[in-house]
Amino acid sequence: MSAASPAARAAEHWTSLLAQDEELSPAFWERHAATLHDRRLTFGGRLSCPFLRPMFLDPAELRRVRDAAETIAAVGERLVAASAERPEVLDALGLTAGERDLVSIDPGYRTASTASRLDAFLLPDALWCAEYNAESPAGLGYTETLSEVFDELAVMRRFKAQWRAEYFRLCGAMLEALLESYREWGGRASPPTMLITDFHGVPTWTEFEILRDRFEASGIPTVIAAPGELEFDGRRLVAGGRPVDLVYRRALMNDLIERPDESRALLDAYRARAVCMANTLRCKLPHKKAFFALLTDPAWSWLLSDAERRLLSNHVPWTRVMAGGRTTVDGRDVDLVAFVREARPDLVIKPNDEYGGSGVALGWEASPDEWDATIHRALAAPAGAWVVQRRIPVRRETYPMVETPHRVVMRDMLVDLAPYVFRGRVAGFLTRLSSTGLANVTSGGGQVPAFVVEPLVEP
């Protein structure tokens, strides 16, 4: 973030407004933490936001992010459509037999990802995307609620004396996207009864409650149930005694495959087109991290227009599926394994289909022996199970953070700005902070709300 940018000036001004006897005091934090708990802003039992400042971006930055994110989402949908005529797409993405079976089911409508999210780093002169979560990403209910909490703070009122600051209404945008997918599917119930489904024990269950309450306040009857609690009689899917029209699927496809008995009713109803499911199971194709390998490999140039190729060359890092053989790097023909071994400080190796940073190996943090072990593990795995990706520049900023016992410290944090894309349109952001090389709440990071800011009076 440039020192002269509106966002940087906004961050500096906000921090200067934090008062020792107010926002920086133990009494304030006690009240604020109680509010966070009351608003269900917890993840796995802990507060999701131990920070005292939002993330700021300006309208120009928002436009830059929107261009890249919406282009990637559009190409992802194009890839799904092309896979019907090009079975080699499934091979290139490394889909398993179980995944192939589920993506072969016709969901009854075209849009694969009603909701998706990019993991990205916004820099002063660039935006770099690490991966694309095309499968029902979490966090939007937490994010909007957290934004409301910050918008109600006294320091925000003082801040708005000099700045226009707006947060993103994600839940309403998500609901409209779900209803749009339902209409595309051919649904006619008015209003449709919605099911939010995932397996018990997931740390985001409190978010489902937030979303249910907001959807119902908008007039959409909504029930939360685990897949194993559902019933299907061949005609209607039933949750808690209520027939369901629209499924907001938060259960991951891998979990559905691994728990077939519990998932049977849901999948049978989907196969029978008795319900509209969003996201469809075909979203798995661009969800695979190998999607970025297709975007950056000249062999798959048919996926992109010339304009898209130019745009994405500045946003998507070189990526390849880990395998023996030759490939191209910056126009050079190389042996892939030898290149990966030699370029260790500039590369990341990660599973093709995991989340929360699981299994990710950062070359610049690994010893040569550790890196070799990671390479061997990737090559010994089933074909398409691992990818290698070029290291991307990351963003770091200083945030006021509350430690336990109460102490406010200025902490240098890695900042991951993850745009939500609902039916192809950027709707807002999940902004995660971490003091490590991985920015995600699952691995112990935290989140802050994102506000678009403009000065009320130019300096």
Residue count (the chain): 459
Domains of the chain, residue spans:
6-286+395-454, 288-390
In the block, which residue shows the tokens 């039933």? 238
Distance CA 371, CA 422 (A): 37
Distance CA 136, CA 178 (A): 11
Residue by residue, pLDDT tens for the chain (459 residues) are 445 789 999 999 999 999 999 999 999 999 999 999 999 998 877 899 999 999 999 999 999 999 999 999 999 999 999 999 999 999 999 999 999 999 999 999 999 999 999 999 999 888 999 999 999 899 999 999 999 999 999 999 999 999 999 999 999 999 999 999 999 999 999 999 999 999 999 999 999 999 999 999 999 999 999 999 999 999 999 999 999 999 999 999 999 999 999 999 999 999 999 999 999 999 999 999 999 999 999 999 999 999 999 999 999 999 999 999 999 999 999 999 999 999 999 999 999 998 767 789 999 999 999 999 999 999 999 999 999 999 999 999 999 999 988 899 999 999 999 999 999 999 999 999 998 755 444 445 699 999 999 999 765
Distance CA 306, CA 293 (A): 17
pLDDT value, residue 443: 44
What is the identity of the amino acid at 436?
A: T
On the CB side of 81, CA atoms within 13 Å amount to 10
Please give the backbone phi and psi of residue 346, each rounded to the nearest 5 degrees, phi first.
-110, 10
Select from 336, 275, 282, 265 the least CA-distant residue to 116: 282
Whether 319 contacts 346, CB under 8 Å: no
Distance of CA 371 to the CA centre of its chain: 27
As a 3-state breakdown, the chain gives helix, strand, coil percent values, each rounded to 5, of: 40, 25, 35
Q: Which CATH architecture has domain 6-286+395-454?
A: 3-Layer(aba) Sandwich (3.40)
Q: Per DSSP, what are the bridge partners of residue 420? A: 117, 428
What's the pTM value of the predicted model, to 2 decimals? 0.94
Report which DSSP code applies to 97: H
Q: Calculate the alpha carbon distances from 410 to 51, 413, 459 in Å.
A: 10, 9, 26
Q: Enter the tokens of residue 60.
A: 């120009």
Residue 110's CB is within 10 A of a number of other CB atoms, namely 13
Whether 348 contacts 366, CB under 8 Å: no
In the block, which residue shows the tokens 């133990």? 26
The Cα diameter of the chain in Å comes to 66
What is the identity of the amino acid at 97?
A: A
Distance CA 227, CA 231 (A): 9
Q: Report whether the peptide linkage leading into residue 191 is cis, meaning its omega lies within 30 degrees of zero.
A: yes
Collapsing DSSP states into helix, strand and coil, what is residue 17? helix
Treating both helix axes as pointing N-terminal to C-terminal, what angle do 140-151 and 170-185 enclose, rounded to 10 degrees? 150
Q: Which residues contact 284 (CB under 8 A, 6 or more apart)?
A: 95, 99, 102, 103, 134, 135, 253
Residue 123's CB is within 10 A of a number of other CB atoms, namely 16
Question: Residue 412: which H helix or E strand, with range?
Answer: strand 407-422
Class of residue 127 by CB neighbours under 10 A (exposed 0-12, middle 13-18, buried 19+): buried
Distance CA 173, CA 94 (A): 32
Report which DSSP code applies to 162: T
Distance CA 297, CA 162 (A): 47
Q: Calculate the alpha carbon distances from 155 to 19, 49, 151, 341 in Å.
A: 9, 17, 9, 50
Distance CA 129, CA 76 (A): 14
**Pairing state of beta strands 425-434 and 407-422?**
antiparallel
In the block, which residue shows the tokens 């559902």? 230
What is the identity of the amino acid at 134?
A: A
